[in-house]
Structure 1
Amino acid sequence: MHLFAPGTRIRRREVLHGELWMEHPVTVVSDDGDVLAVRLDPGSPFTFPDHPHGPHPWSSHSAWASSVVLQLHKTDAAYGVWKFFAADGTFLHWYINFEAPIVRHPDAFDTDDHGLDLIVHPDGSRTWKDVQDLHWQRAEGRIDLATVGRVLEAAAEVTGFLDAGTAWWAAWAEWSPDRGPDHPAPVLS
């Protein structure tokens, strides 16, 4: 397995039906082979190659326009855990992005967004987002019924972690963007 060094710029690539659909740069914060942590910064430019499925849903955007986001990708997990911050570096919320497990390359990783999202607010309350996208993505041919099943299994896994208070990403609770992109990973016990 290829590990990425902290501070390295790599590409996050969305691949749909085996073809590149979108990519943009991120900066590696940490990579221990189990969890890849990358930082998405404002202004990260999006590239949208022509795709047989048509334009990417974000194709009207030229770059990431929000604030800093820490993205955590656990090996074989069918979701990424994103930690959103306000422009001043204040923690806003966790954002569970249900997506294909990452596939590593020497200078990039591949995934594909499956539409469903879960926002976990600082007080622990939860808001499901884009629930209808599972149906829409299946109707549009982006995902198949088996993928819908995997997304629902991943959603049950995530809610199980949250209900039990065993979310693996809690180890990153103290990480903030003011520590810089090279801030080391938390020590996991």
Structure 2
Amino acid sequence: MLTRQRSRPTITAAPRHPSFPAQHHLVNGGLPLPSAAFEPGSTVVRRDVRDGKVWTAAPHRVLADDGTQLVLVTWPGAAGYALANWIRSLTGGGERARRQAVTELADGEWELGRWIWRDTIVVTWIGLDPDFSLQHYQPIDGSPGHWKINFERPVTRTSTGIDTCDLLLDLITDPAGTWRWKDEAEYDEIRSRGLIPDTEHERVQAARRRALAFAEAGRGPLGEDWTSWRVPADWPLPILPDGALTTHG
């Protein structure tokens, strides 16, 4: 992997709101989100939805939104919902519970549990590419952070946030800053069970090539140093609104 000089995030002053980045170069034309932009500092909900059923719901605050690129942040203490067996896998259930969560997602039958985000400040860039988002995870204990490219279905905007469907495939950095693929077996599992048809798989394969080129080039936010960025002390935790688990249509 090439070593690159990283700049500080491009910032714009916003009283009582965090500094936020300017628009970045789009990987694949971006994804216009056709509705009024969310105000910086407002709460939005990012949800994963399959066949009209919510399987994650997490509150975030908006750092920036220009109608094409949406930048969000969440941090420890924010309460949302996730697959109950996925939560169990992180709280003592181990790999067996994680495999069960993947099976339930593929089969379309699951239970949700309350999940309190922990350990890291997560900044998410949506709209750099229609088929993936970019995330920076910064541990609050000061240990090294990492980047993740998250493959997901194209985002749709709702009155309270955004809906997508995580495809369980990631491209992440290890502690040395080298990019590697993660959870390919889980992606293969849900594909074999019919969650990802061949046409969508072809789209994901093309997105993988774009993502790898984007990562290796160190473009956009990847060229900026987010290790020292922190949520302003006067910002309260984002809270899920009523009806966060309800879908329409």
TM-score w.r.t. the length of structure 2 is: 0.63
Aligned to 2:76: 42
5 Å-filtered alignment, 1:1-189, equals: 1-47=35-81, 53-55=108-110, 59=112, 62-74=115-127, 77-88=130-141, 91-121=144-174, 123-163=176-216, 165=217, 167-170=219-222, 172-174=224-226, 176-178=228-230, 180=232
Counterpart residue type for residue 94 of structure 1:
W
Aligned to 2:17: none
**Relative contact order higher in (CA < 8 Å, ≥ 6 apart):** 2
CA 76–181 in structure 1, closer or farther in 2 if over 3 Å, else same: farther
Rounded to whole Å, the distance in 2 between the matches of 1:29 and 1:68 is: 13
Counterpart residue type for residue 42 of structure 2:
T
1:63-105 superposed Cα distances (whole Å, 9 cap, x missing partner): 2233111011116521111100011355511111111121112
- Whichever of the two has the greater Rg, that structure is 2
The answer (yes or no) to whether the contact 2:215–2:222 under 8 Å persists in 1 is no
Counterpart residue type for residue 209 of structure 2:
A
Q: Across the two proteins, how many residue pairs are aligned to each other?
A: 179
The answer (yes or no) to whether the contact 1:75–1:102 under 8 Å persists in 2 is no
The answer (yes or no) to whether the contact 2:124–2:135 under 8 Å persists in 1 is yes
Rounded to whole Å, the distance in 1 between the matches of 2:137 and 2:186 is: 21
Q: Which runs of 5+ in 1 are unaligned?
A: 184-189
Aligned to 1:186: none
- Classify the secondary structure of the residue corresponding to 2:222: helix
How many percent of aligned residue pairs carry the same amino acid?
Answer: 28
- Classify the secondary structure of the residue corresponding to 1:42: coil
Aligned to 2:239: none
Counterpart residue type for residue 36 of structure 1:
L
Counterpart residue type for residue 25 of structure 1:
P
Runs of 4+ in structure 1 off by over 6 angstroms are: none
Structure with the larger strand share = 1
